[in-house]
Amino acid sequence: ERMCIMALRKYSPDTDIIGYQHTIVSQAMANMFLSQYENGILPLPDKVLTVGSIPKKIMENYGTYKNGFIEESCGLRFEYLYKNEITEKNNQGNILLAPEGVSQVKAMINYVINQLMLHPKYHLTIRMHPLLPFDSIKHNLDYNIDTIKNITISRHKSLLEDLKMADIVIYRGSTVCLEALYMGIPVIHFDDGSFLSEDPLFLSKSLKWTVSKSDKLTDVIESIYNLDNASKIEQLKKARAYINNYFHPIT
């Protein structure tokens, strides 16, 4: 990306270059935050458009940018969200695990399998990222899920199909958490102890819980199921408001 910008600056100096932040911004995405020492050195576009107001605030809070360099726009990849209404969940034990496409998710997968494999009341569906097919990591996991009856790998092409079946989503750094919250699905963040958080929702606590390797996952799941309706509605309102500021609709 930066090499392309350097080439355009050299060979087509009159060309306007617009950057687009097309997805989430977490604390761990340090390359998104321009430091004072990089100003005037790194090749940059003329401006950067974000998917909404919250990513803009995050980038400006952690980075050093000139006024007006970052502008809010809209979430081009997430237009389908606004076409789907919140569906009532019946707490049937349908848990969706959504790893992102990096090898570090193995710790989360091992943890969730370990916590749920002996509890047949829960059915775990693992939806792998396209960049990390299950076959590429299954031999490095601590468990053989082919022998575990209540765990399956999603075969659905559409994320929406898996979300409609789930009543809880577990994630580490995937954008699926924001999509789940928008549809009214509670989320559980797996904290792997990284110094910089991979959590896209690190600024939000609404309808969201956090677990680490030392926590009992089933206790957290049951606390979500036992949440009274008034509290759930209140948290859902706050979560939806946050997502609406994170991804602005296309106009």
119-177 residue pLDDT tens: 999 999 999 999 999 999 999 999 999 999 999 999 988 898 999 999 999 999 999 99
Give the pLDDT score at 79.
Answer: 82
Give the pLDDT score at 78.
Answer: 85
Q: Which of 175, 209, 212 is nearest to 190 (CA)?
A: 212
Give the pLDDT score at 87.
Answer: 67
Give the pLDDT score at 80.
Answer: 78
Give the pLDDT score at 90.
Answer: 75
Which residues touch 217 (CB under 8 Å, ≥6 apart)? 111, 112, 115, 116, 188, 211
Give the pLDDT score at 156.
Answer: 86
The one-letter amino acid at 223: S
Q: Tell if the pTM clears 0.75, that is, is over it.
A: yes
Give the pLDDT score at 129.
Answer: 94
Give the pLDDT score at 81.
Answer: 77
- Extract the residue ranges of the chain whose pLDDT is less than 50: none
Rounded to the nearest integer, the mean pLDDT of the chain is 93
Give the pLDDT score at 82.
Answer: 75
